[in-house]
Structure 1
Amino acid sequence: MSISQGQDDIFLDLKQKFWNTYKTGLMYWPFVQLTNFSLVPVQWRTAYTGLCGFFWATFLCFSQQSGDGTLKSVFILLRTKAAGAVERPPEQ
């Protein structure tokens, strides 16, 4: 992505976010597969894994743009957006 965005240091994102993203993946995917094989019926396992993969890809896109590779950054963003929506006066 850094090459396609024309960044000077193409390895900067890798240096900054790889280990955080890797650790997040180590927490996310085993949980997904544990629930997949213990709770999800056989006929829905592929769809469940696909949905979880979609959420993971969304997280990776967010992390590439503005996060630091951790789920904490996602929750902070969601909390600030929700707080901003509540505090905003209604439009007339």
Structure 2
Amino acid sequence: MQAVVEQITYTPFAMVCFYFIMSLMESKGVDGAAEEVSNKFLPTYKVGVCVWPILTTINFTFVSERNRVPFVSVCSLMWTTFLSFMKQADAEAARSAVTLS
């Protein structure tokens, strides 16, 4: 249940902030940042909805309590790498990267 609540409440906010603020830091301006959010949010969110509930379930079902933080840390590192890939991809490449054809 926690994974579902997180995917509905926190994840969209975090992804929008990531794309918007990173675009502003690249001097794309507010319009460019808003365009990047509109192009990349949905493909990234789809991947997150598929990945994080599974990882959370694995973490709380199979990983011992003392290893849960390291497990989530490794998963977060991989997720941050994916976000960096999506950020650098152009809009069409971002959509096609997460589409199963």
TM-score, with length taken from structure 1: 0.70
Distance 1:18 1:72, change over 3 A: closer
Query: Hey, what's the Cα distance between the residues in 2 that align with 1:72 and 1:48?
Result: 24
Contact 1:36/1:49 (CA < 8 Å) preserved in 2? yes
> Corresponding residue for 1:32?
55
Instruction: Tell me the equivalent position of 2:26.
Output: 5
Structure 1, unaligned stretches of length 5 or more? 74-92
CA contact (8 A) 2:43 2:98 kept: no
Q: Secondary structure at the match of 2:28?
A: coil
Contact 1:24 1:70 in 2 (8 A): no
Q: How has the CA–CA distance of structure 1 residues 6 and 16 changed in structure 2, closer, same or farther, with 3 Å as cutoff?
A: same
> Aligned letter for 2:45?
Y
Percent identity, aligned pairs only, is 29
Kindly state the Cα deviation for residue 7 of structure 1 after the two structures are TM-superposed.
1.5
Residue 45 of structure 1 aligns to a residue whose secondary structure is helix
Runs of 4+ off more than 6 Å: none
What displacement does 1:64 show? 0.1
Higher normalized helix content (fraction of residues):
2
- Higher CA-based Rg: 1
> In the comparison of the two structures, how many residue pairs are matched?
73
How far 1:6 moved relative to its partner?
A: 1.3
Q: Does the CA-based 8 Å contact 1:21-1:70 persist in structure 2? A: no
Structure 2 length-normalised TM? 0.64
